[in-house]
Structure 1
Amino acid sequence: MAFQQAPVRNVNITSAFWSQMQRCSREKTIPAIIKAQKSLKHWYCLTWKEGHEVQPHPFWDSDIYKIVEAACYFLMKEKDDGLMAIVEEAVDMVRAAQHPDGYINSYYTVLGINKRWTNLRDMHELYCLGHLTEACVAYETLTNSGRLLEPVLKALRHVDSVFGSEPGKKRGYPGHQEIEIGLLRLYELCGEPMLLKLAKYFISERGQRDDKGEMYFDHEARARGGDPYDHFGGEMKAWFEYPRDYSYNQSDRPLTEATEVKGHAVRAMYYYIAATDLVRLTGDNEVKAALDRMWADMTERKLYITGGIGAMRQWEGFGAKYVLGDTEESGTCYAETCACFALILWCQRMLQIDLNVKYADVMEIGLYNGFLGAVGLDGGSFYYQNPLRTFSGHPKERSTWFEVACCPPNVAKLLGSMGSLIYSFKDNLVAIHLYIESEITVPGTDVIVAQMTRMPWTGDVLISVKGSTALALRIPTWADEYSSSVQGEVKDGYLYIPQSKDAEVKLSFTLKPRKVYPNPAMEKDQICITRGPLVYCIEDVDNEVDIDHVGLLDDSVSDGEPINIAGVSGVVPVRATGRELVRGESRLYAWQPWRYGDKKSLLYVPYFLRANRGGKGGMTVWARRLDAS
């Protein structure tokens, strides 16, 4: 039996650290997103009719649906009549926007309904509908009213009437995966068999070729009078220019034949999330074997130390193995916020079918680093990309909004639902994946499991159980040593504590600064500093050195005294020693090697806190490794 996710309603997060992040998202991020959508008129695109003077962006529907989903998660924990009214306003717009046969999409409603379903490859009809379906799951979990379930099921029945392997149907699938996730989530909520059948079709049909070796997207392009080799042509050509390479959307071959992660990172992660859910629901071992290959390739060759993924700016996705640059300017460090968001959810799904520390480790790294720093501590500014290095004189400020605004709502979605990341459960067993002060009431029982901890700043955790259950407690691989007051068996990085009534377990993990070195294949002789789940960086605002030209001595590093940074209290910095490059003549090449000057004390702070305090903009995670002598 697979593990079940902890329902959002059943988890209370009491951590001072994470409560602050959630409160900021609830009070600032969600209102900021809604304000931006309404001020730019994006919010109202569902109400527009054919021939409207402003054409909606193909993605705008999804932005509305995602913020509705995020709002519902927060409303599950705290009543807010004003926010609930906005959610109901969006539901009213969806109901009014639906065509008689069930179709919903503002772009083609305005452009002309006769053009719908003619460009699955480049447009986002199924993608938007997937986000509507996920919003439906959250809304109906909150209200159980059926107000959104009714139009969404009607829309999905329309999709099922158009697509599938049955005679007379289109053999198409989405250019941007997402509907597959929504279908399987809604299937688990309401049990409608059509949803599972349609999701399985979309997942298994992707990448199939005909007798001539051609894809559905090739036939589709010709049918609308286009050229299959003009990728992102026609309506979307103003936004994108890509060669014909179907690995961009993972449709170059079926998933079961794939050997490495390729293409657009967000598309890939959404694909794998849905495929993992499919494995859990159907037991498809061939798909599971493919997912294991994808996981190994990504984590062993294409994953940033921050948990970011997708190095290549040109296609917002994966590049060759070990090509993991540091800067946005290089074109080899994109690390989109949405990609890290989706990676975290893929880890969550993999933990449901295979309780292994390797998935929880990556989930934690992504959560604290690649994801968390994407939103400013003001709650209303965001990063789309998350490079590991920025230069002095060129500060990389967060933006309040984007033309393609996929990232801000995803930040709110994850922070609103993150209780489901901490715990999972099955058969009198509760697994703890993240050490975040909180408690869970296990559904259908009187069991309450609580954690007291100051993670990520200290490594001590007190776990108490009211009722009777066994525990599976993650042992993070960043901890050299740990101790437990209760003995148990360790399997795949989890400490299994036998079932007992009203138990108490004291855990202590070594939490100290550590130096990390890159694989030689990355061809950079550098050092990064981590502490527990946190990746650290140096910023010019803290250091009287030229951040652009500093090297780190391969010597001891130590904790600094706790400080407050931009409203986050108790931050533990790291002290290290480096040298600043003594620059001579400004020439491209020199007859003598450049040299480093006297030793300098360096202050490192967590990467997620970067760019919140001004400064000249200089920041780096990796620093050149210098001999300690």
Structure 2
Amino acid sequence: MGNPSGVDGQHFYDSEAEARGDVPWKSPNSFPRAKSYWYSQAHQPILQQQTIEGHAVRAMYLLTAVTDTLCLEQLGIHTFAPERAQWFDTVTRLWNNMVDRKMYITGGIGAVKQWESFGIDYFLPQGTDEGGCYSETCAAIGVMMAAERLLHVGLDSRYADIMESCLYNSVMTSMSLDGKEFTYVNQLASSGQDKSAREEWFDCACCPPNLTRLFGSWAAIYGTMLQPVALPPMFTSIFMPPLNWRLLWGRTRLR
């Protein structure tokens, strides 16, 4: 995974920028400054990364992808041997850094509003007017995605606990009861300066369809199957009323 030597000795992003003819001091719109590779988790090969950094949603998709690849080993499709332990240790190290030092009690992540990113350890303001608490809906969904994969690799109730916290406090709360309005940002404290409110749509409308994808994947989230055999054991990841719970989405009901 990855190419630590880059492209002809250059960082991949530098090589691409050079090919585009970008000036060296130009900073992409999303970067805090030029060459902020940590923003895209590209500052080091992932096996060398000690802390979770950068854009919160992208970081979760990266952890999900790495853990997905570890899952392929269980299916006999791919093998990491003899480095499997190193890859698993990396995923759990970054996960633990996030949960222990960079996650809100709601399961929300990504405290820095300007870059939708993680801050330094324990930087967890309650509202954006205090300098943080962006806590994007898609980031919480990404946490659930990574946790669900981690449960397949190692059955540990801590992953299910975080998944449950995200679902009930950062994901389901981001949509109105009628399924027509959504939150992109999920502050713990709202203020007149930066009021929390649900909107019908967004210029960057990633959160509403991400929610529908999550709820459409409910069977995979509700329980975790281990071992690809005819009748694998089923472990419940999230407890909920299986018959009475339903989500109203316009005219569509997901039971």
Length-normalised TM-score, structure 1: 0.35
Matches within 5 A, 1:33-72: none
**How big is the shift at 1:227?**
2.6
Tell me what 2:225 maps to. 425
Give the residue type in structure 2 aligned to 1:263.
G
Aligned to 1:378: 178
Question: Which residue number in structure 2 is paired with residue 205 of structure 1?
Answer: 2
AA matched with 1:287? W
How many angstroms does 1:403 deviate by?
0.8
Tell me the distance in 2 between the aligned counterparts of 1:228 and 1:220.
12
1: distance between equivalents of 2:113 and 2:58?
15
TM-superposed deviation, 1:285: 2.6
1:242 and 2:32 aligned:
yes
Corresponding position of 1:50: none
Distance 1:350 1:219, change over 3 A: same
For residues 274-293 of structure 1, what are the structure 2 equivalents within 5 Å?
274-281=65-72, 282-283=79-80, 284-293=84-93
Rounded to whole Å, the distance in 2 between the matches of 1:280 and 1:394 is 42
Q: Tell me, in whole angstroms, the C-alpha distance in 2 between the residues paired with 1:303 and 1:273.
A: 17
CA contact (8 A) 2:31 2:115 kept: no
1:215 correspondence with 2:11: yes
The separation in 2 between residues aligned to 1:338 and 1:206, in whole angstroms, is 28
The answer (yes or no) to whether the contact 1:272–1:346 under 8 Å persists in 2 is yes
With over 3 angstroms needed to count, the CA separation of the structure-2 counterparts of 1:220 and 1:375, relative to structure 1, is: same
For 1:308-327, what aligned pairs fall within 5 Å after superposition? 308-327=108-127
Give the one of 217, 223, 226 matched to 2:22: 226
Q: Aligned AA for 2:207? A: C
Structure 1 residue 351 and structure 2 residue 159: aligned? Answer: no
> What is the rounded CA distance, in whole Å, between the counterparts of 1:420 and 1:400 in structure 2?
28
- Which of structure 1's runs of 4+ aligned residues deviate more than 4 A? 392-395
- Name the CA distance, whole Å, in 1 between partners of 2:193 and 2:22: 46
2:214 to 414, 418, 432: 414
The alpha carbon displacement at 1:383 in A equals 0.7
Residue 54 of structure 2 corresponds to: 263
Displacement of 1:311 in angstroms is 0.5
What is the match of residue 436 of structure 1? 240
Tell me, in whole angstroms, the C-alpha distance in 1 between the residues paired with 2:222 and 2:187: 27
Structure 2 Cα separation of the partners of residues 268 and 394 of structure 1 = 26
> Against the structure 1 CA distance between its residues 343 and 206, is the aligned structure 2 distance closer, same or farther, given a 3 Å change threshold?
farther
Measured against aligned partners, the alpha-carbon deviations of 1:269-305 in whole angstroms (never above 9, x if no partner) come to: 0001010011121343322111011011011100110
Alpha carbons of 1:384 and 1:208: their partners in 2 closer, same or farther (altered >3 Å)? farther
TM-aligned CA distance change 1:228 to 1:265, over 3 Å: farther
Distance 1:437 1:312 in 2: 36
Would you say 1:341 and 2:137 are equivalent positions? no
Shift of 1:378: 2.4
The percent of aligned pairs where both chains have the same amino acid is 35
Q: CA deviation at 1:415?
A: 1.4
Shift of 1:248: 0.3
TM-score between the two structures when normalised by the length of structure 2? 0.84
- Judged with a 3 Å threshold, the aligned counterparts in structure 2 of structure 1 residues 394 and 327 are, in CA distance, closer, same or farther, namely closer
Which structure features the higher share of strand residues? 1
What count of residue pairs does the alignment treat as equivalent? 231
Give the C-alpha shift of residue 419 in structure 1. Answer: 2.0
Quickly say closer, same or farther: Cα 1:412–1:223, change in 2 above 3 A.
same
> In 2 relative to 1, CA 393–336 (structure 1 residues): closer, same or farther, beyond 3 Å?
closer
Which structure 2 residues correspond to residues 386-465 of structure 1 after superposition, within 5 A? 386-391=186-191, 395-426=195-226, 428-438=232-242
Q: Is the 8 A contact 1:207 1:252 kept in 2?
A: no
Check whether the contact 1:207–1:255 (CA below 8 A) recurs between aligned residues.
Answer: no
Q: Does the CA contact (< 8 Å) of 1:435 and 1:453 recur in 2?
A: no
Q: Residue 234 of structure 2: SS of its match in structure 1?
A: strand
| Aligned equivalents of 1:300, 1:414: Cα separation in 2 | 25
Give the alignment's Cα RMSD to 1 decimal. 2.1
